[in-house]
Amino acid sequence: MIVLILSHFALAACAVPLVRRLGRYAFAVLALPPAATTVWAVTEWTRAESGRAVTWSWEWIGTYDVAVALRLDALAELMVLLAAGVGMLVLLYCVSYFGDDSPQLASFAGNLLAFAGAMLALVLADDLISLYVFWELTTVFSYLLIGYSSERKKNRRSALQALTVTTLGGLAMLIGFLILGEAAGTYRISAIVAHPPEATLAVSVAVVLVLCGALSKSAIWPFSLWLPNAMAAPTPVSAYLHAAAMVKAGVYLIARLAPGFADVPVWRPVVLVLGGATMLLGGWRALRLHDLKLVLAYGTVSQLGFLTVLAGAGNRNAALAAVAMILAHALFKAALFLVTGIVDHAAGTRDLRVLSGLGRTMPWTCAVAVLAGASMAALPPLLGFAAKEAALDALLHGDTADRWTLAVVVAGSVLTVAYTLRFVWGAFARKPGVADTPVHRVGALLAAPAVLAVAGLVLGPGVGWTDPLFAAYADAFPAPDHPYHLALWHGFGTALLLSAVTWAGGAVLFAGRSQVTRFSRRVAWPTADSVFGHLLLGLERLALQVTGFVQRGSLSGYLAITLLVMLVGQLAVMVTDRPWEGAVAPRLWDVPLQGAVAVLTCAAALSCLTVSRRMKAVVLAGLTGYGAALLFVVQGAPDLALTQFCVETVSMIVFVLVLRRMPVRFEESIGTWRRALRIPVALGAAATIGVAVWVSGAARIAEPAGAAMVEEVAHHGLKDVVATILVDLRAWDTMGESAVLAAAAIGVTSLIYLHRRSENSSRREELRGETAWALSASKLSGLPQGDDTAPERDWLAAGSTLAPEHRSVVFEVVGRLLFHPILVLSLYLLFCAENMPGGGFVAGLVAGLGLITRYLAGGRFELAEAAPLQPGLFTGLGLFVSTGVALGGLAEGTVLHAWTYHGHLPVFGDYHLSTSVLFDFGVYLLVLGVVLDIVRALGAKIDRQIERAAGALVPATDTGPGTGTGEPNR
């Protein structure tokens, strides 16, 4: 099973070279995986009808009992045959439908085959989470297929509408899956259906959420608006996705879960009411449309409502009728959609008011359409008749709710007969006053719909062949006194009488089609598409109003709202649960030094309330960070302390760089009453957080995980518990956090680089040679050009590019002397992290501080000389290394010691190098790249802006050839 699924995606990935080489004939090659799947499903028919299942599973998330589990049983057998068999025919149909010059043909072909693979995996999935993943894959591929002609606004809008509706339903379904999985204690679908959880309130809510996903996928009212608009897609997409495959996914899910949850009180009202309403609304709408494809689309909506009623009715005979009708509907509706494509291809229009005389000019196409239409209208001896008879009999012998449902089904069947006649008449009949429509040959297009229509004809008398397979699924429901068996003829009875009523009623409605159309237009309510558009417009206006009210541009206001919400929420929980009862009394400190540091830290934080200068506020805020680092030192956590010191230092430097472009003092005037409100909110939030942390620690009932981690680290001969946790025990978390850090840094710095991110101009690029260097240096230093005074020694490579008032010889000397020791220290912290304080994160920060020192001492040219490579190279290489090591460790079951090398160096002695060190090296490069990117964005880039602004004020006569860039000398 898994090989067949993967073959779909593998060949879909090869669609581009196949189409490039074979043109439209590549569709025949792409039909091989569905063909192989069809053959495999046929060979498994006997096993499925005997009640045995073929299973396969691969553990995915073992902790939560989530696996990629596949299961082929009777219901899955039917759906696999439809998904693969119809998919194969549609792909072969595409060979003649498209031309070699069709735009984006390769992407369309790949998406169509990939959808077939996702649909196959969906119907075979035996795990709720796996099913959801494949469910959303079908949504994504359907979005791409509906939006095939993306240059058309209608296609883009229809694709987005389908994606929005089905995705929202899928998200609700995911929540329902999680609730069901937790309530049942397993996510295995077969186990949940066999032993469903007790029908509690949570389970009822979960059932409703799951039904939301199923109903939205199968276009059941009120989610039915997306399916008619999806007819903007090419005809093969409509025949496959919107007749045989995707729209059946919701019905399939209802049929799959019905044996276990049909008795939940909310199940039948939702399914029967919404399914019946959809059958009537869709059928009535189809009677007044003139586009053949839209007539079939609303007919599909109506039939999906009928299928939903049968699949969710919750009894054995209705379930048997449901699977028979699923097969019949796929055969006749896919055939009719393909016939519509032939008519459109041959006549150039789908308007039934214009089409005339095609029955004589295209007799074989007309015969196929009549055959498929007869099955849709449930005429004997077609499969549709046998399935409809089974449905009517099941509802006749049901309970009171089934009797009401029967009346709705009979009324809906009358509409079905009427729009079937309207379709066949509109496409092929000769109409008075309308000239015969000219057509051209359609070649082999008729083969695929002919196969489907003939299958419906053969399976009508031979429906008994399918009875053992369908009964294997239906027998999962409680057995009735008189089990129904599928057969073409059950004699004269009430079911046949009701069928005759539907035929007669449909013929009457068709005969009075003009009056019916006028009446339908007179009482027409707003279309679903119009309602959807107004809902989106209203939502957009509401969002603008809410955004305008909330987003006032006040950072202090945002912070106050955040703190108040947190304060109210935490206090409500504490007052309600009273978690402090039974907790041990808090211990203020272990040693008095902790209390002293804490008091000083709080004093620095409170002092921020009274300052008016930005720089003073930055310094005081930095002192609070250093105070927290001192608490780590006193507590005995050198790793955390070292990291905190480095982070706080880099943060303060970044603040200082930003403050260069901001006023010295805070411009916002804070009144006495506003300050009187802010202080209690801040103090209350701080006190609440403190109490919550104390309560959390005091209420611990489980053993702390620290002892086990220390033991695990010691087992590997290591000493640094923190570093080992980060790069081994929780390496995947670290990798994810590193990726978030990189993304955040790139996003922030991109706000500075509005036009381009490349800002790596070195002094040689900007000063164009030694002559330009000397001229620029003379200009900046205030010396006359050509002065032969002995040059001052440069401690830094680009120190002479700074103006004299910006230079500090002492700083240059210190920066020059400390740069290389800082880099060596960073490498030491990197490689000693397994047994001493350090690690890739803090080592990267230390290396970044070395580069920051060079920048502060020598300016942006000095930074370019010290780090000539792009920051993105470090960031990308770091992510690549850490991700590669993590994936390699996944194959071994761990990251640490997946690979270890022991060696000896003459000076350093014995050493060992493991994959954890390589992982840490990736983190080191990533952090270094992030720091360098921030310094270049907030430092070098802003320097360049300042220089340009200053240069714009210099008179034109004061410019010279020194820079060679056309800009004034700086």
Q: Are 219 and 301 in contact (CB under 8 A)?
A: yes
Q: Taking residues 238-245, what's their average pLDDT?
A: 82
Mean pLDDT of 138-160: 84
Helix, strand, coil tally for the chain in percent (to 5): 70, 5, 25
Checking DSSP bridges between strand 900-905 and strand 909-914, what pairing results, if any? antiparallel
- The proportion of the chain whose per-residue pLDDT surpasses 90, expressed as a percent, equals 18
In this predicted model, what pLDDT tens digit does every residue of 529-540 receive, in sequence order?
677 778 888 888
Average pLDDT, the chain: 81
Label each residue of 446-461 as H, E or C.
Answer: HHHHHHHHHHHHHCCC
Per-residue pLDDT at 900: 63
Task: Give yes or no for residue 794 having a pLDDT over 90.
Answer: no
Query: Would you mind telling me the total number of residues written for the chain in this entry?
Result: 970
Alpha-carbon distance 253 to 687, whole Å?
50
Query: How much is the pLDDT for 524?
Result: 61
- pLDDT > 90? residue 39: yes
What's the whole-model pTM score? 0.69
- 530/157 Cα distance (integer angstroms): 13
pLDDT greater than 70 at residue 894:
no
Provide the pLDDT for residue 729: 67
3-state secondary structure at position 693: helix
Task: Judge whether 254 and 271 are in contact, CB under 8 Å.
Answer: yes
Q: What is the mean pLDDT of residues 177-202?
A: 88
Band of residue 799 on the pLDDT scale cut at 50, 70, 90? low
Q: Residue 475's CB: how many other CB atoms inside 10 A?
A: 16
For residue 748, is pLDDT > 90?
no
Q: Pick from 653, 648, 606, 612: which is nearest to 627 by CA?
A: 648
User: Is the per-residue pLDDT at 578 higher than 90?
Assistant: no
Please tell me the predicted confidence (pLDDT) of residue 561. 83
**What are the tens digits of pLDDT across the range 201-223?**
889 999 999 999 999 998 888 88
Strands of 314-358 (E only): list them. none
The span from the first CA to the last CA of the chain, in angstroms, equals 70
**Residue 613's pLDDT band (cuts 50, 70, 90):** confident
DSSP 445: G
Q: What pLDDT does 901 receive? A: 65
Range picked from 396-405, 642-651, 733-742 for highest mean pLDDT = 642-651
Q: Which residue has the tokens 């036009």?
A: 755
Spatial separation of the C-alpha atoms in residues 411 and 306, rounded to whole Å: 11
Alpha carbon 329 to its chain's center: 32
Strand, helix or coil at 410? helix
Mean pLDDT lowest among 74-83, 112-121, 637-646, 880-889: 880-889
Residue of 827 and 788 predicted with greater confidence: 827
CA distance 482 to 815: 94
Alpha helices (H) in 147-184, listed in sequence order: 153-184
